[in-house]
Amino acid sequence: MANQIEKADPARLAACRVLRDVLNEGGFSNDSAAIHLSSPDLLPRDRAFASALIYGTLARIPLIDAWLERLSARPFEKLDPWMQNVLRLGAWQLHFSYAVPAHTAVDESVKLIRFLSGDRATAYVNGILRSLSRELPAIPAKKLLAYELGLSTELYGLFRHWYGDDMARKIALAALESPSMQTVRLDLRRQAEVDEWLTSNEAVELEAQKAPWPEEAMSINLAGKALNELSAYKEGLFTAQSSSAMLSGSLLPEELLQRDNLRVIDLCSAPGGKIGHLAERLNPEAKLIACDISPERLELVR
């Protein structure tokens, strides 16, 4: 087993574990990635590659699964979950990664499935990915249009109905873009410390810059670093949150937030970014109630 562990590429292994959590176990990509990509065994370049594998593959799942369903001699949904996700990662590397040669994508996928499921699974993975590297299976034109944009036919149909063909396509293409910068929310109660940190070497290396909106938003370029390894994160100067998620806390007027008897209920609070933002702005006497459909994710708020 020790030799097999050495042969399993750590970035691909971490990515495969995240995909299984998300696509087979009903997990959330950001939660699972935070766990598996924080491993000290991952070098910064491995972490960056694993992140590209995860989010690149998830963005293309409708098309990738359509290819694999047509190439698999067995029903794809009945394959072992490890095999499903090794194939998905291999397919993304073959047709959407500009950095991975085709032979490497196939060979590394075979090594990965051998580590996860043993020798019995290697021939099947090898055969499907080699077929996929030679020729893409035919998909009906109406479905292909949606799949190439990373959407199911049902969702793309709704977009077209709501926004028209041109705008629906623009929305889908924008969603497929992979931004190089990550948005974080500054704790403006500690503005002096934030300003001092912005002059530090760490801030320069992260290319830290204020985002266009809202006031608390800042963009950083992690470039393979783990957010929880940054000194500013450890000190509580900022936390991960998208600009759109900040709006619920930023748009509420200050006079409302400072009421003594204010009660705020967040019905979809996990993993805690929005309610944490409100806690920073509210009168200390106000009451916050956090709810979520998932008891497991609600634990992240505590």
pLDDT digits (tens, 9 = 90+) for 236-269: 999 888 888 888 888 888 888 888 788 888 888 8
Q: Does residue 5 carry a pLDDT above 70? A: no
**Secondary structure letter of residue 4 according to DSSP:** H
Domain ranges of the chain: 2-138, 145-176, 179-251, 252-302
Question: What stretches of the chain adopt beta strand conformation (E)?
Answer: 182-186, 209-210, 217-220, 238-240, 263-266, 287-290
Question: What stretches of 146-236 adopt beta strand conformation (E)?
Answer: 182-186, 209-210, 217-220
The CATH code of domain 179-251 reads 3.30.70
- Cβ count near 90 (within 10 Å): 31
Q: Does residue 67 carry a pLDDT above 60? A: yes
Residue 93 CB burial class (10 angstroms; 0-12, 13-18, ≥19): buried
Q: Does residue 20 carry a pLDDT above 90? A: yes
- Looking at residue 64, its pLDDT comes to 98
- Looking at residue 3, its pLDDT comes to 46
Handedness of CA 156, 159, 161, 167 (dihedral sign): negative
Q: Does residue 1 carry a pLDDT above 50? A: no
Cα(222)–Cα(206) distance, rounded to whole angstroms?
Answer: 6
Quick one: average pLDDT of 180-186?
A: 84
**Which tokens hold the place of 224?**
């393979």
Quick one: average pLDDT of 97-121?
A: 93
Q: How confident is the model at residue 179 (pLDDT cuts 50, 70, 90)?
A: low
- Looking at residue 57, its pLDDT comes to 96
According to CATH, the topology of domain 2-138 is N-utilizing Substance Protein B Homolog; Chain A (1.10.940)
**Percentage of residues in the chain having pLDDT higher than 90:** 52
Asked if the domains 2-138 and 179-251 are classified in one and the same CATH topology, the answer is no
Quick one: average pLDDT of 16-37?
A: 90
Phi/psi of residue 215, each to 5°? -60, -35
Q: Does residue 169 carry a pLDDT above 50? A: yes
pTM given for the model: 0.76
The answer to whether residues 216 and 185 touch, using CB atoms and an 8 Å cutoff, is: yes
**Which tokens hold the place of 33?**
């990635």
